[in-house]
Structure 1
Amino acid sequence: MTAQNLQVYKSNDLMTANYKLTVAETRIILTCIAKIDRDRNNVVTDNEMYGFTAREFAETCGISLMAAYSDLKEAVDQLFERKILLSMNDRERKTRWIQTADYIAGEGRVELRFSKDILPYLVDLQGNFTKYSLNAVARLSSPHAFRMYELIIKHRFKCNPTALIFIEDIRFSLALDDAYPLYADLRKRVIEPALEMINAVTDIKILGFEPKREGRKIVAIEVSYAERADFSMDPVQESLISEKDETPKPAKTTRKRKPGPITEKEINAAARPGESTQEVIARLTAERRRAEPVATY
């Protein structure tokens, strides 16, 4: 599978719903959404199962095969418990993303069945929905970046390429609850890192954002962006898809060498629940740096 031609379709109500998913869980959900048959002559029911293999997942997300196996097995264990809060006209509805989750160990394959309540937000969408390429988001490595991307592109087809996003919508959609009550902290810890990552790996270029006020209170941000007409994913290095540890052995020398690249074995041994592969690598890199001797003069 390549994500090149796979499209994610979501009702705008689902685009702004309240939920928390890890990076791996988000990637799984979006990939399964993109697998839904969009043939108008086909009636989609909640009996359908949507799946893919670890190798497909690795190639799409630009991660190693070993990391893909680990991410899929852990995420499937958690996905069945994940809830979503939908804001409706006269009520708020709490439901689940899926009703069935299978991990087929012998094939390294995941299969999901969406819940009956979620399916109307994914199929038979006649209006008030957003479509985007799975390719555009597959390599995001932050849950906040996934959600901020969706809040931005919900405004995509306006003549003016800007998105006015209310702070309360950011807090609700990202399920921040009481975290970062001050705008300065929200900007530093959530908004700016998410926009930087979106700018780095997706199909839109973030040109900047500006806070909007009512009186002295900041109530929204206006994000300016541009489409990347030539966007495409960087090719995946073949070594990432290999099941073997290809880490080069250090040459024999009496000089002390810097530590080699972090291996897949180290990543899998050190991973904590909910961490993406990129987050594990960042943490191990920081730990290595702290362990280095401090130069004195």
Structure 2
Amino acid sequence: MKTNLVVKDNALINASYNLEVSEQRLILLSIVRARETGQGISENVRLHIHASDYAKQFNTTNETAYEVLKSAAENLFNRQFSYREQDDNGKEFVIKSRWVSQIAYAEKHAELHIIFAPAIVPLITRLEKHFTSYEIKQVAQITSKYGIRLYELLVQWRDVGKTPVLKIDDFRFKLGIEPHEYKQMGHFKSRVLEPAIKQINEFTDIKAEYVQHKSGRTITGFEFKFKLKNQPPKEKKLPKDQNTIDMFTSMTDKQVLLFAKKLAHDDQFGGRVGKVGESREELERRLIDLLVDPKNLVKWADDLKRLGFNA
């Protein structure tokens, strides 16, 4: 495949739906196919998925892929999703829609044709607002349907590495869990949350953990923290010297003016940093700009401390 990037509007990422793993995979594969072929996604575009496409992307046998496509032809048309949306007056609505408006399966050719429902098209194609993207290979090995959903919920917050606290009712809604399912917290954690986290940590590009939030003894929500795997190692920091100014320290405007003047008129400092032919006043003006940069505070820490700067 030329590209395997999945892009979904965050309204869809936060929607409620309960698709089986194979059905989620077909939706994702359809999005990829639309991008790969240049067809795009609209309520009139037929997206073609062959069993071999599914088998190759998700490392299954052709026989399994045939069964998945056949099952999707029977079940995916009836699947629904819902999401919350506010109108201009602040009224919140729960919108429900099918995933597809049309589905066709040619059994002899092991080929599935999908047309997305009108309501879902803008949620997949509206990229000028908040959206989440990831490579489909990140979820290709996940077999927990809640694992795929949880991964998508987490990677919305990839830039900060943690989610807000997800209130339990809202979290269940986003995972597509019905009110009668996994009502006991022990069952929810052992059958939904823990298997999802385990597979995310094993198969995807992030490593996640969660923190429980309680009111008394009752769990009211979960906060997830995660980090990207295989990041280049951070530079090893030298032991911190108590006499060295921390590199994140900054000066106030008043301190910048004061110590630019002190440094410019200090023979020891000026002899090292001053330019040939540069007057003390010219050096002072140059230092006003340089002292804004924390790196220079570190570089000149000894001089600044000697002249009375206390970080």
* TM score, norm. by length of structure 1: 0.70
Deviates more, 1:54-63 or 1:101-110: 101-110
Aligned partner letter, 2:214: R
Aligned partner letter, 1:195: I
Q: Distance in 2 between matches of 1:42 and 1:64?
A: 27
Is the 2:54–2:65 Cα contact (8 Å) retained in structure 1? Answer: yes
Structure-1 residue corresponding to 2:113: 111
Aligned partner letter, 1:64: T
Find out whether 1:87 has 2:89 as its counterpart.
no
Is the 1:16–1:169 Cα contact (8 Å) retained in structure 2? Answer: no
2:137 is aligned, of 114, 135, 138, to 135
Structure-1 residue corresponding to 2:61: 64
Report the alpha carbon displacement of residue 191 of structure 1 after superposing the two structures with TM.
0.6
Report the alpha carbon displacement of residue 215 of structure 1 after superposing the two structures with TM.
4.3
* Superimposed CA distance per residue, residues 191-245 of structure 1 (whole angstroms, 9 cap, x where no aligned partner): 1111001111112122x22111244432222222221248xxxxxxxxxxxxxxx
Is the 2:15–2:83 Cα contact (8 Å) retained in structure 1? Answer: yes
Aligned partner letter, 2:189: R
Is the 1:57–1:68 Cα contact (8 Å) retained in structure 2? Answer: yes
- Bigger-Rg structure (1/2): 2
Q: Report % sequence identity.
A: 29
Aligned partner letter, 2:126: D
Find out whether 1:162 has 2:162 as its counterpart.
yes
Is the 2:17–2:176 Cα contact (8 Å) retained in structure 1? Answer: yes
Q: Distance in 1 between matches of 2:33 and 2:162?
A: 30
Structure-2 residue corresponding to 1:152: 154
Find out whether 1:54 has 2:55 as its counterpart.
no
Report the alpha carbon displacement of residue 38 of structure 1 after superposing the two structures with TM.
8.6
Is the 1:148–1:170 Cα contact (8 Å) retained in structure 2? Answer: no
Report the alpha carbon displacement of residue 43 of structure 1 after superposing the two structures with TM.
7.4
Structure-2 residue corresponding to 1:252: none
Is the 2:151–2:200 Cα contact (8 Å) retained in structure 1? Answer: yes
Is the 2:17–2:82 Cα contact (8 Å) retained in structure 1? Answer: yes
Aligned partner letter, 2:47: Y
Structure-2 residue corresponding to 1:226: 227
Aligned partner letter, 1:9: V
Report the alpha carbon displacement of residue 42 of structure 1 after superposing the two structures with TM.
8.1
Structure-1 residue corresponding to 2:172: 171
Query: Where does the alignment leave 5 or more consecutive residues of structure 1 unmatched?
Result: 231-297
Query: Where does the alignment leave 5 or more consecutive residues of structure 2 unmatched?
Result: 87-91, 232-311
Structure-2 residue corresponding to 1:26: 24
Q: Distance in 2 between matches of 1:31 and 1:204?
A: 21
Is the 2:9–2:126 Cα contact (8 Å) retained in structure 1? Answer: no
Q: Distance in 2 between matches of 1:100 and 1:75?
A: 12
Aligned partner letter, 1:58: A
Query: Which structure is higher in RCO with an 8 Å CA cutoff and minimum separation 6?
Result: 1
Aligned partner letter, 2:162: T
Deviates more, 1:164-173 or 1:114-123: 164-173
Deviates more, 1:116-125 or 1:163-172: 163-172
Going by fraction, where is helix more abundant, 1 or 2? 2
* TM score, norm. by length of structure 2: 0.67
Find out whether 1:182 has 2:184 as its counterpart.
yes
Is the 1:7–1:131 Cα contact (8 Å) retained in structure 2? Answer: yes
Structure-1 residue corresponding to 2:207: 205
Is the 2:163–2:225 Cα contact (8 Å) retained in structure 1? Answer: yes
Aligned partner letter, 1:25: E
Judged with a 3 Å threshold, the aligned counterparts in structure 2 of structure 1 residues 205 and 185 are, in CA distance, closer, same or farther, namely: same
Q: Distance in 1 between matches of 2:178 and 2:126?
A: 32
Could you list the structure 1 runs, at least 4 aligned residues long, displaced by more than 4 angstroms after superposition: 41-44
Is the 2:42–2:116 Cα contact (8 Å) retained in structure 1? Answer: no
Report the alpha carbon displacement of residue 44 of structure 1 after superposing the two structures with TM.
4.7
Aligned partner letter, 1:134: I
Aligned residues: 224
Provide the aligned C-alpha RMSD in A: 2.2
Q: Distance in 1 between matches of 2:118 and 2:76?
A: 16
Judged with a 3 Å threshold, the aligned counterparts in structure 2 of structure 1 residues 169 and 10 are, in CA distance, closer, same or farther, namely: same
1:78 is aligned, of 75, 84, 103, to 75
